[in-house]
Amino acid sequence: MFKELNPLLHSELRLAVMSILISVEEADFLFIREKTGATAGNISVQIEKLREAGYIEVTKGFLGKRTRTACKITKKGVDAFEEYVEALKSYLEIKGK
C-alpha cells in the first residue's frame, strides 16, 4: 500500500534544500537562501537538522574577508532523498488506478 514518507524530508523547506543539493556539487548558504526565499534563521535551523541526520555536510570558511557556509549532500542524504521520492510515487500510483 502506501510507503511511509520520511518525516525529516517531508518538511517543505528541508525538501527544498535537499532538492537543490541533489542537483549541484555543493551550494553555499546565500545560494540556498536565494533559491528557497526563506529567512536566514529558518534555513540555518533546517540545515542543522539535515546535518545532524547525516544527510548533508556543512563546511564553514572564508571567501576573502567574508564567511562562507557551504553544504553538500552525503551518500546517506542521496539515499534518503531517493527513498522519499519512491515513497511519494507510491501515493501517485494508487491515485492513477
Q: Which residue intervals of 10-74 are DSSP H helices?
A: 12-22, 29-36, 40-52
Contact 58, 70 (CB under 8 A): yes
Grid cell for residue 73: 549532500
pLDDT 10s digits, 61-93: 998 898 999 999 999 999 999 999 999 988 887
Q: List, for residues 34-53, the tens digit of each pLDDT value.
A: 999 999 999 999 999 999 99
Residue 30 has pLDDT above 80, yes or no: yes
Amino acid identity, position 27:
A
Domains of the chain: 12-95 (1.10.10.10)
Element of type H or E holding 40: helix 40-52
What is the pLDDT averaged over residues 4-9? 94
Residue 3 has pLDDT above 80, yes or no: yes
